[in-house]
Amino acid sequence: MLKIGKVAVVPNLILAPISGVTDTYFRRLVKRLGGCGLLYSEMISAEGLCRQHSKTLSYLKFVSEEKPLTVQLYGFDPARMAEAARLVEKTGADMVDINMGCPTPKVVRHGSGAALMRDLDRAEKIITRVKERTSIPLTVKMRAGWSQNTPNYLEVARRAAASGADAICFHPRTKSQRLSGAADWSLITELREALSIPVIGNGDIATPYDALRMEAETGCQGIMVGRAAIKNPWLFRQVRDLAQGKQVYIPSLEERKKFILDYLSLAQRGEEDPRIALAKGKRVVIYLSRKLPQTTLFRRRLNAARSIHQLTEIVEEFFYRLLYEYSSSGELPYQGLSSEGIPPI
């Protein structure tokens, strides 16, 4: 069982933070599908929270259905990070995470995200100050190092643990790699053996088989999935099926459509600014329709949509046509079905 501080994570399958996607609406829907033991918010600026910036505060929104929930913060100033973490705790979030892996220039330029992996004194101060101001468990999400020449993951994680981190989420690529090359899972094994706090493995899980393989190969206590889960949010349930020796659940087209429409409806009701709801909606529709056939015209129409209402109509029409073709041909309209019958998405 995975226990992070006082929080039990059951099952030990975790939705990774993906900015622009893993908002409160997406997280609620993932949770309803089952199999996911912990959700992470997308990264939130500590500075924005401290300044009570309204857009930043909106990222903090969540409902009890999402619990246990970890809110991820990024920043570089220990006092501001501690203040932001205190605000996170006040919302009732179960844990706080410190982003030490984001490679985006606008984040690292200011010394936040992956830049903390080469400023360990600062990283230590942040963790210590956050622990002083909060009583919820703290996790650190980190990479293998800044570049191939500085693979300092062991030192970073040891110092994080000594400063009070309750678990480490580890994506074994360097900042310079961003998402290129392959995540080196052998580093997860090494880190897990070196630490006495739990290690959550992350990186390149594409199918439910991969999730079980990562756990078996590395011994990591938690498994975090990002890109594959936002294209296939049923993945957590599929991992559970596989672990229990059951037939792996394959969502129907109707269910995929329902997920998308539920997201659009939640975003429309939840967002004050309809332009934000539309932008979020388009992104989620694109991820969820990734492996479906005949998407070229669909994509073009999506991009041209001017309202959630229009977007909803386009989605309804697209699925109506696919379902019609599916029922008349009897073919499962997924592209690239793996031999196990699981879409490799």
Ligand X SMILES: Cc1cc2nc3c(=O)[nH]c(=O)nc-3n(C[C@H](O)[C@H](O)[C@H](O)COP(=O)(O)O)c2cc1C
* Catalytic residue IDs: 102
Can you list the alpha helix ranges (DSSP code H) found in the chain?
24-33, 46-50, 54-58, 78-91, 105-108, 120-133, 153-163, 185-194, 208-218, 227-231, 235-243, 253-270, 274-288, 295-304, 308-329
The distance of closest approach from Cβ of residue 223 to ligand X in the complex, given in angstroms and rounded to an integer, is: 9
Q: Which of 97, 104, 1 shows the shortest CA–CA distance to 43?
A: 97
**Which of 2, 9, 14, 18: binder of ligand X (CB under 6 A)?**
18
Q: Which stretch binds ligand X (CB under 6 A): 2-10, 14-22, 88-96, 256-264?
A: 14-22
The distance of closest approach from Cβ of residue 74 to ligand X in the complex, given in angstroms and rounded to an integer, is: 8
Q: Per-residue x/- marks for ligand X, 110-149, CB under 6 A?
A: -------------------------------x--------
For residues 30 and 233, the answer to whether their CB atoms sit within 8 Å is yes
Q: Per-residue x/- marks for ligand X, 30-49, CB under 6 A?
A: ------------xx------
For residues 173 and 181, the answer to whether their CB atoms sit within 8 Å is yes
**Which of 72, 112, 174, 177: binder of ligand X (CB under 6 A)?**
72
Q: Which stretch binds ligand X (CB under 6 A): 148-156, 202-210, 290-298, 309-317?
A: 202-210
Task: Count interface residues toward ligand X (CB under 6 A).
Answer: 20
Q: Per-residue x/- marks for ligand X, 303-342, CB under 6 A?
A: ----------------------------------------
Q: Which of 56, 29, 27, 62 shows the shortest CA–CA distance to 43?
A: 56
The distance of closest approach from Cβ of residue 212 to ligand X in the complex, given in angstroms and rounded to an integer, is: 14
Question: Length of the chain in residues, anyone?
Answer: 345
Q: Under the criterion CB under 6 A, does residue 56 sit at the interface with ligand X?
A: no
Which residue, 218 or 312, has its beta carbon nearer to ligand X? 218
Q: Under the criterion CB under 6 A, does residue 107 sit at the interface with ligand X?
A: no
- Upstream peptide bond of 11 is cis (omega within 30 degrees of 0): yes
Q: Record the tokens describing residue 78, joined without a space.
A: 């220990």
Q: Record the tokens describing residue 326, joined without a space.
A: 């599916």
Q: Under the criterion CB under 6 A, does residue 225 sit at the interface with ligand X?
A: yes
* Phi, psi of 69, deg, nearest 5: -130, 135
Which residue, 146 or 319, has its beta carbon nearer to ligand X? 146
The distance of closest approach from Cβ of residue 289 to ligand X in the complex, given in angstroms and rounded to an integer, is: 17
Phi-psi region of 70 (alpha: psi -120 to 50; beta: other; left: phi over 0): beta
95 contacts: CB under 8 Å, gap ≥ 6: 4, 5, 7, 68, 69, 70, 71, 136, 137, 138, 139, 166
**Which of 4, 9, 14, 17: binder of ligand X (CB under 6 A)?**
17
116 contacts: CB under 8 Å, gap ≥ 6: 76, 98, 100, 122, 123, 126
Cα–Cα distance for residue pair 174/193, rounded to 1 Å: 20
Q: Under the criterion CB under 6 A, does residue 222 sit at the interface with ligand X?
A: no
Q: Which stretch binds ligand X (CB under 6 A): 57-65, 75-83, 94-102, 128-136?
A: 94-102
Under the rule (CB under 6 A), what is the footprint of ligand X? 16-19, 42-43, 72, 99, 101-102, 141, 171, 202-205, 225-228
